[in-house]
Amino acid sequence: MTDSPKPAPSDDENSTQTRARVLPNRLLKTLAKIHVRLNLLSRGHLANKMQGRDVCFVTMTGAISGRTLTKPLMYIPYGDGVLLVASLGGGPKNPIWYGNLVRQPNIEVRHRGHVMPLRARLATDAEKPSLWPICDAAFPPYAEYRMKTSREIPIFVCERRAPSTDS
């Protein structure tokens, strides 16, 4: 018996496949919004972990929209601030929030109800070798993500700034 070539997928099959790829992204965005809302409503008492690790809630200004956005990200304490890793799970591109921090570096980071006004800057190539062990200790999958992608995963060093009304 010989294998016959598979027929091309119908339009219905194509749209189902497209929905299957889009759904996880939509689902993740919805879950992140619920995560942020739950943490806000509980005044920082609930939803402080993801994958068994501490998270912080980073409030930033959208680079294009100018809107205020809050994203739950892994919490990596560093000095008086935090480190933020733009890993996107080792994906081929940077997460969208990366561009927000590059263009609008003044952020607020909330961890367990404590709010820190910070300014984000990209770690230099010279700094990264000493920062990766700190990041990996806080969230071990980062090491796997670095092996999984060909891009250089950015690390933001977020340092204290004076509180202001500007973002």
pLDDT digits (tens, 9 = 90+) for 38-56: 666 666 665 666 777 888 9
What is the full DSSP assignment across 33-66?
HHHHHHHHHTTTSS--EETTEEEEEEEEE-TTT-
Q: In percent, how much of the chain has pLDDT > 90?
A: 60
Contact 154, 135 (CB under 8 A): no
Query: What is the average pLDDT score of the chain?
Result: 82
**Residue bearing the bigger pLDDT, 134 or 25:** 134
Q: How confident is the model over 88-137, as pLDDT tens digits?
A: 999 999 999 999 999 999 999 999 888 999 999 999 999 999 999 999 99
Contact 44, 113 (CB under 8 A): yes
C-alpha–C-alpha distance, residues 154 and 29, integer Å? 21
Contact 53, 139 (CB under 8 A): yes
**pLDDT computed for residue 52 by the predictor:** 76
HSE, side-chain direction, 13 A CA sphere, residue 140: 2
**72 SS3 class:** strand
pTM score? 0.76
φ, ψ at 63 (rounded to 5°): -65, -35
User: In the chain, what are the domains?
Assistant: 11-160 (2.30.110.10)
**80 SS3 class:** coil
